[in-house]
Chains A and B, each alone.
Chain A
Amino acid sequence: MLNVIIVDDELLARENLRCLLENDSQINIVAECNNAMDAIREIHRLAPDVVFLDIQMPKINGLEMLSMLDPQTMPHIVFLTAYSEFAVKAFEEQAFDYLLKPIEQDRLNKTLSRLHKKCPVADINQLSGIDQQLKYIPCIGHNRIYLLSNDDVFYISSKVSGIYVFNQNNNEYFTELTLKTLEDKTSLIRCHRQYLVNLKKLKEIRFNEAGSVDIILNNDVAVPVSRRYLKSLKEILGL
């Protein structure tokens, strides 16, 4: 049994794929998403085996989305595209699976049989066009996706309700990306189990009387530094 998520911004395209997948009793569609942000959330939440991923999507395309996924829960990816010479060639070279829309049943069956044989997950980072570093952090706002540039981020905090990115004005933006992904794929530095901080915005490190340590940022916001990360932080700063 394979748990599958379909990611495509077009409802009818998802429907087409769903109809074809329903012919295989070993496939269980656990979610359908129409944009990358929803997809990241659902992938993190449901940890599916396979994601059928459309490349052409608004704001964050399929390739960009991959680099935002937590590497630890990386599912097997099958790309979907209507027409893209470049992408198709890249996939072929890297032995990634891809399907051309409209999808042929026979072609899909080949993909499915391979998936049932539990092929090893190909390394996403090998795929050209996938950045090791994020250019921006996608955040969800009111009916919108904000793409915050790394330089605009002051710190990131993990709360019970999720991960939040803070900017100059200390406004918080919710993001679906995990703290681990953000730590790995950005220049932000871990200073606490629940915090990442942008050292370019660092103003001072304050050692409090009670023994606790805070980082004071340019906008005078204090970010706690835990004992565990203080040492590595000092090393980075050359103290």
Chain B
Amino acid sequence: MFEFDLVLQLLQQMCVYLVIAYLLSKTPIVIPLMQVTIHLPHKLVCYFIFSLFCIMGSYFGLHIEDTIANTRAIGAILGGLLGGPVVGLLVGLTGGIHRYTLGGITAESCMLSTILTGLISGLLHYTLMKKGRIDLVYNPFLVGVLGVLVESLEMIQVLLISRPFDVVLHAVRSIAAPMIVANSIGAAMFMRILLDRRAIFERYTSAFSAKALKIAVSTEGLLREGFNQENSTKVAEIIYQELDIGAVSITDREKILAFIGVGDDHHLPGTKITSNVTLEAIEQNDVKYLDGTHQPYQCSINKNCRLGATLVIPLRGENNNVVGTIKLYEAKNTLFSSINRTLGEGIASLLSAQILAGQNEYYKQLLSKTEIKLLHAQVNPHFLFNALNTLLAIIRRDKEQASQLVQNLSTFFRKNLKRTDEIVTLKDEIEHVNAYLQIEKMRFMEQLSINFDIPEQLEYAQLPAFSLQPIVENAIKHGTSQLISQGEVTIRAYANDQTLILEVIDNAGNYRENKKDNKGLGLNLVDKRIKIRYGENYGIKIICKPDEYTNVMLSLPLLEDVVV
């Protein structure tokens, strides 16, 4: 039974082929093949791998009567089926052209049929995809049937194209059955290997996801309450249990917040960070990995520490700034599993998000607290009753002036009633300030002079309401009203690049930085509010020359009101 021998031989060849396929399936190269993909790099991987199999199929083929019994079709079938029409065609072309270079009477027909095989498989992929039957693409049975079909087609084609007919017919008789059997079984088994590999991979990822999810769920919200020793310890405990790792540590920028696991006798929470690798990770805002083999890790606290490998991942808060680190450790002679490595980074970003959320919440609270305080500070009863006392005198003196004072009072109170989180134009804020100053001017009369220097083009610059008013009030209350001689308040606005600068200058020079009374309270609130809203680069700066002047400079981003 010559034919049967050929079947066996071809199956043997197919086995070599499958062994290679199996080995390949152990490498990460096949990962793109396990899913139907539209990514170009994945398609390229698909093309290269199956072209290689095509070429190998021809190369390991058995030369029989000037033709080659081969398993080339496996590559073309899988290439087309997994990669689509284009990849299928390209794989077919590559394999076909290679086959052509090997010569023989069936060279042209084999080349053509390989191209056709790739194309047909590709078209099948296309059809199945369109019908949404991705599962069928990976069905080994279907692959087998496809193998039988395309191989039969190849045989017919060879008979039709290649000449002389009688020689070809004889060859086809001996190779048809082995090739159809070997290629269809081979392709089907190849797919089976891929499926197995995928199953393993999925089990692995699902275990991975389960762990990640469990950690995510159990640490949820812990650090949002505050990035401190207590909460960090809870988080470290969870991670330590879930990852089954040597030790887990969480630090802030200076000290260890939590440490659980091997070496917790000398890695004490609350102590300063001494490990260089941690300090580097904080400094460079970068993940540091000492795997213990290529780069050994030595504990910086205790020489006899059993820990031998560490992964340090920065925790990032606002503006991606490092607020601390999470460190995973393995003991000496224990391999650092890559799952834990990847998980570690995932956990770090999870915790970072929590810390950030916590910070944001804290800032929000702070902001509303400041707003409330500011609200309370708005109407100074002294101001109110003094103004009324002034009004009493003005009514007696000059009716016209009295009505003006009432106007100013109503403007002042109307503006005061505005919500503190409102954004207003500079013009609006100046109106408020002006109403206030006009009232004070009537009260202090010649003892107070007021200057405004506000360029017209800045009138529509935006700022939070009550940003300027407390500064001006401060300049009067703790500045000029403490002078025996004449007081002078100047309010200036100018733009410096994209920054709006507002200056309130009084000629008292009474500001003292370290005074413990709450003279600076209003200023502090304004400063805090601006910094929370616009960042640390903005806020209040005070220049004071004692007994000569105090200049309170408020800087804000220059934002124009679009509706002019």
Residues of A within 8 A of B (CB): 9-13, 15-16, 19, 35, 37, 56, 58-59, 82-84, 100-102, 143-145
Q: Is A102 in contact with B388, judged by CB distance below 8 angstroms?
A: yes
* Interface pick from B40-48, B149-157, B214-222, B481-489: B481-489
Q: Is A10 in contact with B484, judged by CB distance below 8 angstroms?
A: no
Contact of B394 among A9, A12, A83, A145 (CB under 8 A): A12
Q: Is B389 in contact with A13, judged by CB distance below 8 angstroms?
A: yes
Residues of B within 8 A of A100 (CB): 385
Known: A10-B386, A82-B389, A100-B385. A58 touches B396 (CB 8 A): no
Q: Is B443 in contact with A12, judged by CB distance below 8 angstroms?
A: yes
Interchain nearest-CB distance for B456 vs A (Å): 34
Contact of A10 among B384, B443, B483, B485 (CB under 8 A): B443
Can you give 6 A-B contacts (C-beta < 8 A)? A10-B386, A37-B484, A56-B382, A58-B484, A59-B484, A102-B388
Q: Is B485 in contact with A143, judged by CB distance below 8 angstroms?
A: yes
Q: Is B382 in contact with A82, judged by CB distance below 8 angstroms?
A: yes
Of all chain A residues, the one with the shortest Cβ separation from B393 is A12
Tell me the complex Cα distance, A37–B484, Å. 10
- Is B392 an interface residue, CB under 8 A from the partner? yes
Contacts between chains A and B (CB distance < 8 A), count = 59
Residues of B within 8 A of A37 (CB): 484
- Is B445 an interface residue, CB under 8 A from the partner? yes
Closest 6 CB pairs of A and B: A12-B393, A82-B385, A83-B381, A101-B389, A102-B389, A58-B482
Q: Mark B473-487, 1 if CB is under 8 A from A, else 0.
A: 000000001111100
- Is B444 an interface residue, CB under 8 A from the partner? yes
Residues of A within 8 A of B385 (CB): 82-83, 100-102
Interchain nearest-CB distance for B511 vs A (Å): 15
Residues of B within 8 A of A84 (CB): 382
Contact of B392 among A11, A16, A144, A145 (CB under 8 A): A16
Q: Is A10 in contact with B444, judged by CB distance below 8 angstroms?
A: yes
Of all chain B residues, the one with the shortest Cβ separation from A143 is B485
Interchain nearest-CB distance for B497 vs A (Å): 39
Tell me the complex Cα distance, A15–B385, Å. 16
Q: Is B386 in contact with A101, judged by CB distance below 8 angstroms?
A: yes
Interchain nearest-CB distance for B395 vs A (Å): 10
Q: Is A12 in contact with B390, judged by CB distance below 8 angstroms?
A: yes
Tell me the complex Cα distance, A84–B384, Å. 12
Tell me the complex Cα distance, A10–B485, Å. 13
Interchain nearest-CB distance for B405 vs A (Å): 11
Interchain nearest-CB distance for B432 vs A (Å): 22
Q: Is A102 in contact with B392, judged by CB distance below 8 angstroms?
A: yes
Of all chain B residues, the one with the shortest Cβ separation from A80 is B389
Tell me the complex Cα distance, A19–B393, Å. 9
Q: Mark B296-319, 1 if CB is under 8 A from A, else 0.
A: 000000000000000000000000
Q: Is B382 in contact with A144, judged by CB distance below 8 angstroms?
A: no
Contact of B485 among A13, A19, A101, A144 (CB under 8 A): A144
Would you call the interface of chain B mostly helix, strand, loop, or mixed? helix
Of all chain B residues, the one with the shortest Cβ separation from A82 is B385
Residues of B within 8 A of A83 (CB): 381-382, 384-385
Residues of B within 8 A of A102 (CB): 385, 388-389, 392
Q: Is B485 in contact with A12, judged by CB distance below 8 angstroms?
A: no
Q: Mark B382-421, 1 if CB is under 8 A from A, else 0.
A: 1011101110111010000000000000000000000000
Q: Mark B454-494, 1 if CB is under 8 A from A, else 0.
A: 00000000000000000000000000011111000000000
Interchain nearest-CB distance for A7 vs B (Å): 13
Q: Is A35 in contact with B484, judged by CB distance below 8 angstroms?
A: yes
Tell me the complex Cα distance, A58–B388, Å. 20
- Beyond contacts A12-B393, A12-B443: 14 other A-B pairs, Cβ-Cβ < 8 A, are A9-B447, A10-B389, A10-B390, A11-B445, A12-B394, A12-B445, A13-B390, A15-B393, A16-B389, A16-B393, A101-B389, A102-B389, A102-B392, A144-B484
Contact of B484 among A13, A16, A56, A143 (CB under 8 A): A143
Of all chain A residues, the one with the shortest Cβ separation from B480 is A58
Q: Identify the interface centre among B393, B443, B447, B481: most chain A CB within 10 Å of its CB.
A: B393
Q: Identify the interface centre among A12, A19, A59, A84: most chain B CB within 10 Å of its CB.
A: A12
Of all chain A residues, the one with the shortest Cβ separation from B380 is A83
Q: Is B389 in contact with A12, judged by CB distance below 8 angstroms?
A: yes
Interchain nearest-CB distance for B69 vs A (Å): 108
Interface members, chain B 338-393 (any A CB < 8 Å): 381-382, 384-386, 388-390, 392-393
Interchain nearest-CB distance for B483 vs A (Å): 6
Interchain nearest-CB distance for B379 vs A (Å): 11
Tell me the complex Cα distance, A13–B443, Å. 8
Residues of A within 8 A of B388 (CB): 102
Tell me the complex Cα distance, A13–B481, Å. 15
Tell me the complex Cα distance, A9–B445, Å. 11
Contact of B483 among A13, A16, A58 (CB under 8 A): A58
Of all chain A residues, the one with the shortest Cβ separation from B482 is A58
Tell me the complex Cα distance, A58–B393, Å. 21
Of all chain B residues, the one with the shortest Cβ separation from A140 is B484
Q: Is B396 in contact with A19, judged by CB distance below 8 angstroms?
A: yes
Residues of B within 8 A of A143 (CB): 484-485
Tell me the complex Cα distance, A128–B539, Å. 40
Interchain nearest-CB distance for A58 vs B (Å): 4
Interchain nearest-CB distance for B389 vs A (Å): 4
Tell me the complex Cα distance, A16–B390, Å. 8
Tell me the complex Cα distance, A11–B448, Å. 12
Residues of A within 8 A of B481 (CB): 9, 58
Q: Is A13 in contact with B393, judged by CB distance below 8 angstroms?
A: yes
Of all chain A residues, the one with the shortest Cβ separation from B485 is A143
Q: Is B485 in contact with A82, judged by CB distance below 8 angstroms?
A: no
Tell me the complex Cα distance, A82–B382, Å. 6
Of all chain B residues, the one with the shortest Cβ separation from A13 is B389
